[in-house]
Structure 1
Amino acid sequence: MKIDRNADVLPPRYAAKSLRKVMGSYLAQASQTDARQAHEWAAGCATANRLRAAWEEHQSALEREVREAGLRARTAQTSLLRDAVTEASISAARRLLELLQSELREAKQAAQESGEIFSEMTRFLGRHRNAAFISGRNGTPAELLPPLRRQLDAARSRLGRLLKNDREALHRIILHKSSPKGAASTISTKAGIDLLTEESFRCLIEELVQRDGYTRHGESEQTPLTGEDLLVSASGRMTLALCCQTFGPPEDPNAGQHRTCVSAPALIRAHRAASQLQAELAVFVTNASFSATAQRYAREQGIVLIGREALTDWVLSLIQLPDLIAPCDVSADDTATRPDSGAVPAPYRAFDAGGDVMDAGAYLDGDTADDASLASFLFALEGLIAREGYHALDRHRQAVQHEYGEIANLSTGPESPTSGALWEAHRRLREALANALAAAREATDRAGNVWRALRDECGTDLRQRYRRSADPVPSELEGTAEGWRWLSHAQQQLSETLAGHREETHGLALLEIRCQAFLKSPESIGLDTILRLSPVQFERTVARIARRDGLTVTREHGGAGDLGADVIAVMADGRTVVFQCKHISTGRRSVGSRVIQNLNGTAQDIHGADIVVAATNGGFSKDARALATRLGIHLIDEHRLQRWATWGEPLTTVLGIADSSEATAS
């Protein structure tokens, strides 16, 4: 795509060089078609955003009317003058409040749906083929916008009709109360309708039909009637087939409505009856409500539904049958939909994808110039880069999570020559991976925040974001560049950590093999065997093991006047090693600090020791260990003795000192 550098809209000037390179590569591969599709997607987001705001405004208006209607009902009910006019006002206020509350529930649901559509469309920021969400194909969110827009027009129209009917309701009720006729005039509440039997309910519907100027047809062989069907007509009007069904009073009188709803099979019967009676329109009347499946079937078959609310208004003469069956064309200025929650309003009819979907440039005041397309495309590319950065960091987080899960589930197994070292290696790796995982989660969250910050700008005039300016606004995308730099370092560090652990465990595995082989040789001496030795035999055993490691033993055991040196040996490099041996068979299992003090006083000054070692088949007290550390004296307890005597590790490895070759090289 070629960009005019003199245009008002230009690509952002990122501080990060990596972002400039990525954006430049995408722009070089793009076409004008890509820009147009991105423009359509951005326009769809703006349309959804405006529709959401409009529904929220309508919801606020309904909430205000509900509060005023509730206040009016409570004020009229507490009036001291309870004449016919007051009673009529209370009844009208209650009906208005019920209808407004029904409208408010619908508005809340529609506002939520429009918000979800907007959220769904913006969720695809940065994905390819964004135009598919605008074209109205394949069940995309964009095709739900026109029905919601028509539903909003219908809701506004119904609200106007409700307020208009409320102004006329009191006058009509007074007129009908002053000249009562028939059973309909004696039923003024929903509870009264619920108490009717099926036969009485049918008679009530027949009386209401006759009151509105319709004539009932008699039964004939060509038009057989059931006990619940009525075939009526009027001069210049359609022939109607009315199907009636009553459910009696609700289970919960305080609920105000039936839990039971008319299902679709009942409407199928009504449709079949209309066909048999050769009626032009099927009408279903009930004192309950209709299920969602029944309402959908009624929309498909053109059946008029008169539910609980509409029936009450019909009985009270607030609306007549011609108004109930009138087509609901919300596009006409002089036509309003009925305020009936049980009937099927026109906005819910199927959406024609070939109709007016939306104006792709409406949110830009009709401007579909290259500036608008380029701004939309640049925004889509920023979203794409932010999404790619987030997924790259999230893949790294998942890799670290996998490695951490693997090492966390490992165990060192049974006691072995390398179990302690292996456990320590696993512990260090777990600690390193835990820190890496915490850092990866934090970086992933930051990358997600970058994408969400861009998503919050969907539905706005994007040209303002990319207008030529001396002081451009820093892009949120700079955070993605920081994430990329951190990711490169983190991946290298993870690779080095895992490689170091593999090398360490490989060395431990080789050591384990050697130790197991030595364990089967006659040179291996177990701790149980050492425990049964006498002190002198223990000293001779230490000398034997030292000779096995290549040391020249000059004293094999101590005695009277040994001055703290039980075993003296010389290493190949000439260093002298002095051993103080303490065999423990029973009783106290640890060597105290006095032994360390005595050894320190004679080993170097008298025996010329280069390496001083205190060896025991038991343990050392805390004070003894602290003193030995301070004086530089090496300790061999039962664990180190097992490594040396049983598993065959060299003395230099057990003590952690350099061997002869290393000492010579140093």
Structure 2
Amino acid sequence: MHINWRTTVQVPDYGNDHLNELFQRHLSEATDDDLLAAYLHWAEGRIALDFCGTAEALVERFYSENESLDRLRTPHRSRYASIYQSARADLRHAIEQAIDTTESTLLKARESWRSLCAQTPHDLAGRYRQAGEAHPGRAAVALIGQLGEQNAEAERAVRNALVRYRHEMHRVAVLEQEMATFLASDGSFDLQDVDTMNPYEFEHMVARLARRDGLNVVRSGGGSRDLGADVIALTAGDLRVVFQCKHRHAGVGKVGSRDMQTLNGTARPEHQADIVIAVTNGTFTKPAIDFSRSHTIHLLGRTDLRRWATWGDPLLSVLDLTDAPLTTTAVTPGSDPTYVQVS
């Protein structure tokens, strides 16, 4: 064997003359094939161990990303909470998939390394004289290559998910800034201010909001003879919208079915309403919701009032209505019971 004895690698003294002699004899009898085979066997194991180290670091990084995501909080009462939550859920899904992938590849790589260790024969040179796919280490090292591709794909998926998340956070930051400007304007009514209004002020606020949405208000307040119509407005398509306004002091209290029965008895027969809406800063009882569902009365309670009065969402959008004749209503499953949409 051709050994450059000027190498900095020294043959150790094993503390036993017999062992030292054995090592010297093996070195003197070794061939170039022995040297190359020993190096190849070492290199296969080194590749497997290096991959394990890289995979471990990747797993730790993905867990760290997940922990960072856990520390993020949606801004309190944000208009765009659903965007925050959706973007975070998408990113978390990508990270958790990447964790599953990299932990699986790490386990397989460790098994591959143990397999390589177990394949150390007496005749290493003979092992590598086997051609093509016949030599035992080939499958183990080929597996490392496949595992590396899987980890690279997982890393790309997380990187792309992070890009999408940052894009969504930039978009929502712009929306939040625009919303902050709107909230500071005269067109927005905070629910705390609404709760301190008297019924007359509440009716006029509803009329003002209707005008803000482009409706033509023909009555802006009710009275003792209003026959259940506190505000009347016309849409761009000349549909007649009748509002009954039920203010609750401090936002506490519910509107019952009797009020809905009264509204139902006058809104269409007396006022020729195409769209009938009951609006309150409180909530509605279940009987009121049930009655309204069966008589095509659209309920706008506290949750939706925030969308309309505070956040500036158009009324017909809040109630999921279009400027067209309406027939049936249904309470949205799983939503706040004050939220009613057209079915």
Partner of 1:143: 12
Partner of 1:442: 104
Q: CA shift at 1:457, angstroms? A: 3.2
Partner of 2:141: 477
Partner of 2:65: 403
Does structure 1 retain, via aligned residues, the 8 Å contact 2:216–2:235?
yes
Larger Rg computed on CA atoms: 1
Partner of 1:487: 151
User: Which runs of structure 2 are paired with 1:572-583 in the superposition (5 Å)?
Assistant: 581-583=245-247
CA distance in 1: counterparts of 2:317 and 2:190, whole angstroms:
19
CA distance in 2: counterparts of 1:588 and 1:601, whole angstroms:
26
Q: Does 1:539 align with 2:206?
A: no
Deviations 1:154-183, CA, capped at 9 Å, x for gaps: xxxxxxxxxxxxxxxxxxxxxxxxxxxxxx
**What secondary structure sits across from 1:641 in the alignment?**
helix
CA distance in 2: counterparts of 1:375 and 1:604, whole angstroms:
94
Deviations 1:404-429, CA, capped at 9 Å, x for gaps: 22222223355554456535644554
**What secondary structure sits across from 1:143 in the alignment?**
coil
Q: CA shift at 1:525, angstroms? A: 1.8
Q: CA shift at 1:495, angstroms? A: 2.5
Q: Does 1:380 align with 2:42?
A: yes
Q: CA shift at 1:512, angstroms? A: 1.8
User: Which runs of structure 2 are paired with 1:637-656 in the superposition (5 Å)?
Assistant: 637-651=301-315, 654=318
- Select 1:560's aligned residue among 227, 236, 258: 227
Amino acid of the structure 2 residue aligned with 1:397 = V
Q: CA shift at 1:504, angstroms? A: 2.0
Cα 1:520–1:471 shift into 2, 3 Å: closer
Deviations 1:250-292, CA, capped at 9 Å, x for gaps: xxxxxxxxxxxxxxxxxxxxxxxxxxxxxxxxxxxxxxxxxxx
Q: Does 1:520 align with 2:184?
A: yes
| TM-score, length of structure 2 as denominator length | 0.66
**What secondary structure sits across from 1:402 in the alignment?**
helix
| TM-score, length of structure 1 as denominator length | 0.38
- Select 2:31's aligned residue among 368, 375, 381: 368
- Matched length: 314
Q: CA shift at 1:494, angstroms? A: 1.4
Does structure 2 retain, via aligned residues, the 8 Å contact 1:143–1:357?
no
CA distance in 1: counterparts of 2:44 and 2:172, whole angstroms:
50
Cα 1:555–1:426 shift into 2, 3 Å: farther
Q: Does 1:412 align with 2:77?
A: no
CA distance in 2: counterparts of 1:647 and 1:410, whole angstroms:
24
Q: CA shift at 1:463, angstroms? A: 4.2
Partner of 1:570: 235
Q: CA shift at 1:462, angstroms? A: 3.2
Cα 1:524–1:358 shift into 2, 3 Å: same
Does structure 1 retain, via aligned residues, the 8 Å contact 2:83–2:168?
no
Cα 1:470–1:356 shift into 2, 3 Å: closer
Amino acid of the structure 1 residue aligned with 2:179 = C
CA distance in 2: counterparts of 1:443 and 1:471, whole angstroms:
22
Partner of 1:358: 23
CA distance in 1: counterparts of 2:141 and 2:231, whole angstroms:
73
The two structures, once aligned, show a CA RMSD in angstroms of 4.9
Deviations 1:178-224, CA, capped at 9 Å, x for gaps: xxxxxxxxxxxxxxxxxxxxxxxxxxxxxxxxxxxxxxxxxxxxxxx
Does structure 1 retain, via aligned residues, the 8 Å contact 2:98–2:155?
no
Q: CA shift at 1:470, angstroms? A: 8.8
Q: Does 1:501 align with 2:165?
A: yes
Amino acid of the structure 1 residue aligned with 2:305 = L
**What secondary structure sits across from 1:411 in the alignment?**
coil
Amino acid of the structure 2 residue aligned with 1:507 = R
**What secondary structure sits across from 2:23 in the alignment?**
coil
Q: Unmatched 5+ residue regions in structure 1? A: 1-31, 38-130, 137-141, 151-329, 332-346, 348-354, 660-666
**What secondary structure sits across from 2:189 in the alignment?**
coil
Q: CA shift at 1:644, angstroms? A: 3.0
Does structure 2 retain, via aligned residues, the 8 Å contact 1:554–1:570?
no
Cα 1:360–1:539 shift into 2, 3 Å: farther
Q: CA shift at 1:652, angstroms? A: 6.4
Q: Unmatched 5+ residue regions in structure 2? A: 324-343
Identity rate of aligned residues, in percent? Answer: 31
Deviations 1:333-368, CA, capped at 9 Å, x for gaps: xxxxxxxxxxxxxx9xxxxxxx75824857xx9552
**What secondary structure sits across from 2:44 in the alignment?**
helix
CA distance in 1: counterparts of 2:263 and 2:101, whole angstroms:
50
Cα 1:356–1:598 shift into 2, 3 Å: farther
Partner of 2:52: 390
Partner of 1:47: none
User: Which runs of structure 2 are paired with 1:5-404 in the superposition (5 Å)?
Assistant: 135-136=9-10, 143=12, 146-147=14-15, 150=16, 356=21, 358-359=23-24, 361=26, 366=29, 368-370=31-33, 372-404=34-66
